[in-house]
Structure 1
Amino acid sequence: MDKIRLLPHLIIAGIGALWALPLYVLTIGALKPLSEVLTTPVYVPSTNIDLTTLFRVAGELAPVLLNTALVVIPTALGAAFIGSLGAYALWRATTKLKDVLLVVVAVATYLPYQSAVVPLARFMTERGLFDTLYGIALGLLIFFIPFATLMMLIFITAIPRSVVEAAEIDGAGEMLIFAKAVLPLLGPAFTSVATYLTISGWNNFFIPLALSRTYNNHITLKVFSYVGQSGNLYNEMFSAALIASLPPLLLFIALGRYFIRGLLVLGSGGK
């Protein structure tokens, strides 16, 4: 019986070790001096920790990290808010087109980036937004809004309709009901969706690549720029990857309990 109980813990520990292995290689590789980079395998720890490369790469990435934050955070918050409005409108809708609109939102949510990248890039070019932070923000927003709407619609079904009915009896209009009665109850949901979209936008590579000529508009592009054509200094690549991964990791640690609370609401199905 003890062995049966021990088995799940061993499986979890094994999965954790597999997950930690790339992080281990990434960390020790970022701390190696150039002499060891050229002579030792990536998985062998350094005998002489060197922070020079890490600090130099951090200085190179600092403006790009700022650009990425200025794009991703407002985009995630805006998409979550617009998605909340869209979800509320669909939740309250009585028209026969409601099911059609739901299908459209679902299709848009799972639309591959590749299917829209050419018209999207042309749209940005014609309006002078190509290779700009505004263009990347708009591109992310276009793809994020359907997902946010679908997720917020699932969350919003957990709200008792009696809350809305009570506000209607008091004579409140739709926007006032949304702002005063519905949106405050969507706090965990809003945080979960905004956190997910922030991390997703931070890690997105394809949209910034399709809408940029340079590497300085998004952190994933800048990290990719450390991949050389003739050879790679993996301590530079690992340093860039390690630094780029810290902001979303710290964000999740800071807001993790709210994210999980939102997922619990989603899993409860409004019960």
Structure 2
Amino acid sequence: MSDATTVPTHRRRMSAGTWTLQIAVLAAAVAYMFPIYILINLSLKPPGGSAFPLEPAVRPTLENFFAAWNQALLGPALINSTIVTAASTIIVVICASLAAYPLARSTSRWSSATYYAFILGMIIPFQLAMVPLYTTFRDLGLLGTLPAMIIFYGGAQLPFAVFMYTTFMRNMQREYEEAAEIDGCGQLGKYWHIVLPMSRPITGTVVILTGIHVWNDFFAPLIYLSGGEGTVPIALYGFVGTYYAEWNLVFAGLILSALPLLIVYFAMQKNIIQGFAGGLKG
């Protein structure tokens, strides 16, 4: 009789725990989906309608998307953002992987000092270099141009990328490199034919993290592209005035600007997860 009475109690406890877990997961999903609901809801509301974000769009319309595309000139802005993001990301991947390979394999004091110098670059705030960089770009005639932003992001994102690559390469097996060295392959050959292909997971992580930061950054283009070509955040900023903001157009433009990043993310999702799992362990 005791066994017969304890089994249902155990089942009831398991059921209660499962329900509690499901409710917690559902609450977390609602909390994460709430900003997305506001974003989509406001982007579908007709102009002149209620701006209350929680009120559902009674008459949803796609007019805001066409208006945001035309009024903010999102086409040229998307092209500029794509050029800056792609060029900056390529520079970061090439320079960071080349710098991280010797740092991960060398055990000398100079190697350790160089590695910690890169780490220091992650700590120093951008505001300390803002004015010197502005005067340097001005003297070089690069102020208000896309090459200025490519140079800026290439240097700003390099320390974090070096940290990611170095951590990943230190946990990488060296048997393939030793076999390539026996076959007469030099350091650069080992990097190009062995190390870089094996670093695809962390490369995907660096690409998506760098791309998201560069694509969404607002402060640096506002300073260094003033009076010149604009990126997507600068283009959308035109809908926000001192006394009035066209939030319907802002949120519609945000959805349009997020589509390229979402496509890249889903295309590289597997590499990103593998990169975080392999590059941040140990």
Shared fold (TM-score greater than 0.5)?
yes
How many residue pairs are counted as aligned between the two chains? 267
- The aligned counterpart of 2:222 is 209
| 1:46 lines up with 2:73 in the alignment | no
CA distance in 2, matches of 1:262, 1:112: 26
User: Mean Cα displacement is larger for which, 89-98 or 225-234?
Assistant: 89-98
Query: Gaps spanning 5+ residues in structure 1: where?
Result: none
- The aligned counterpart of 2:103 is 90
Query: Gaps spanning 5+ residues in structure 2: where?
Result: 1-13
CA distance in 2, matches of 1:30, 1:94: 55
- The aligned counterpart of 1:106 is 119
- The aligned counterpart of 2:47 is 34
| 1:264 lines up with 2:277 in the alignment | yes
1:111 Cα deviation after fit: 2.4
- The aligned counterpart of 1:194 is 207
- Cα gap change, 1:214/1:246 in structure 2, threshold over 3 Å: closer, same or farther? farther
Q: Secondary structure at the match of 2:184?
A: coil
On the 8 A contact 2:100/2:163 being kept in 1, the answer is yes
Given the two structures, how large is their TM-score scaled by the length of structure 2?
0.88
Q: 2:191 aligns with which of 146, 155, 178?
A: 178
Q: CA RMSD in A?
A: 1.8
User: Mean Cα displacement is larger for which, 208-217 or 179-188?
Assistant: 208-217
1:193 Cα deviation after fit: 0.9
- The aligned counterpart of 1:55 is 66
- The aligned counterpart of 2:10 is none
- The aligned counterpart of 2:150 is 137
CA distance in 2, matches of 1:192, 1:77: 13
Task: Give the residue type in structure 2 aligned to 1:212.
Answer: L
Render the CA deviation track for 1:36-73: whole Å, top value 9, x for unaligned: 1xx45222122222222211212321110111001101
Render the CA deviation track for 1:228-265: whole Å, top value 9, x for unaligned: 11212221122122222222222212211221121222
| 1:122 lines up with 2:138 in the alignment | no
- Cα gap change, 1:99/1:268 in structure 2, threshold over 3 Å: closer, same or farther? closer
Render the CA deviation track for 1:101-159: whole Å, top value 9, x for unaligned: 11101011232221211111111111111111110111111111111111000111122
1:268 Cα deviation after fit: 4.8
Task: Give the residue type in structure 2 aligned to 1:132.
Answer: T
On the 8 A contact 2:201/2:274 being kept in 1, the answer is yes
CA distance in 2, matches of 1:206, 1:10: 40
- The aligned counterpart of 1:226 is 239
Task: Give the residue type in structure 2 aligned to 1:57.
Answer: A
Q: Which runs of 4+ in 1 moved over 6 A?
A: none
Q: Secondary structure at the match of 1:34?
A: coil
User: Once the two structures are aligned, what percentage of the paired residues are identical?
Assistant: 26
1:15 Cα deviation after fit: 2.2
Task: Give the residue type in structure 2 aligned to 1:54.
Answer: F
1:35 Cα deviation after fit: 3.1
Q: Secondary structure at the match of 1:230?
A: coil
Q: Secondary structure at the match of 1:122?
A: helix
CA distance in 1, matches of 2:39, 2:149: 28
- Cα gap change, 1:42/1:247 in structure 2, threshold over 3 Å: closer, same or farther? same
CA distance in 2, matches of 1:61, 1:214: 17
- The aligned counterpart of 2:251 is 238
User: Mean Cα displacement is larger for which, 255-264 or 66-75?
Assistant: 255-264
- The aligned counterpart of 2:263 is 250
Render the CA deviation track for 1:3-22: whole Å, top value 9, x for unaligned: 32333433332222122112
